[in-house]
Amino acid sequence: MSHRGAQAEQLAAQFLQRHGLKLLQQNYRCRYGEIDLILQHGVTLVFAEVRLRSSSDFGGAAASINAAKQGRLIRTAQHYLATLAHIPPCRFDAVLLQAGDGSDIEWLKDAFGA
């Protein structure tokens, strides 16, 4: 991962923690893919995808989470859930950063269904 990507994930984690989420795991990897952040928001387990884009060309950060990427995230989340004794309510969030300094963060709760 690039330095900018790691910095974006750290900024996103700090942002979400300031909004009451508890960070459980960062960069969960399996054969299906990677989930940037896994957090707890009350009783809900949140799988968060962090996207950094320096420009809005080609649709910006949100557009980069296409159907193929969503499929990989869902399969990776299912892999993670298989390790738990109890499966809580879950959602997929996206944290979009348009600037590398964290000054422009957009949090999309329940960004896509699974």
Q: Which residues contact 90 (CB under 8 A, 6 or more apart)?
A: 44, 45, 46, 47, 77, 81, 114
pLDDT number for residue 88 = 95
Q: How confident is the model at residue 33 (pLDDT cuts 50, 70, 90)?
A: very high
Which region among 6-10, 17-21, 31-35, 55-59 has the lowest average model confidence (pLDDT)? 55-59
Give, in order, the Cα–Cα distances in Å from 19 to each of 67, 72, 98: 28, 27, 19
pLDDT (tens digit per residue) in 14-28: 999 999 999 999 999
pLDDT number for residue 113 = 73
Strands, E, within 33-112: which ranges? 33-41, 44-52, 90-97, 105-112
Tell me if residue 8 falls in helix, strand or coil: helix
pLDDT (tens digit per residue) in 41-54: 999 999 999 988 76
How far, in whole angstroms, is CA 78 from its chain's centroid? 15
pLDDT (tens digit per residue) in 54-113: 655 545 555 667 788 889 999 999 999 999 999 999 999 999 987 656 678 889 999 887
Residue 10 tokens, joined? 């750290």
* pLDDT(36) > 90: yes
pLDDT number for residue 99 = 64
Cβ 16 vs Cβ 96: under 8 Å? no
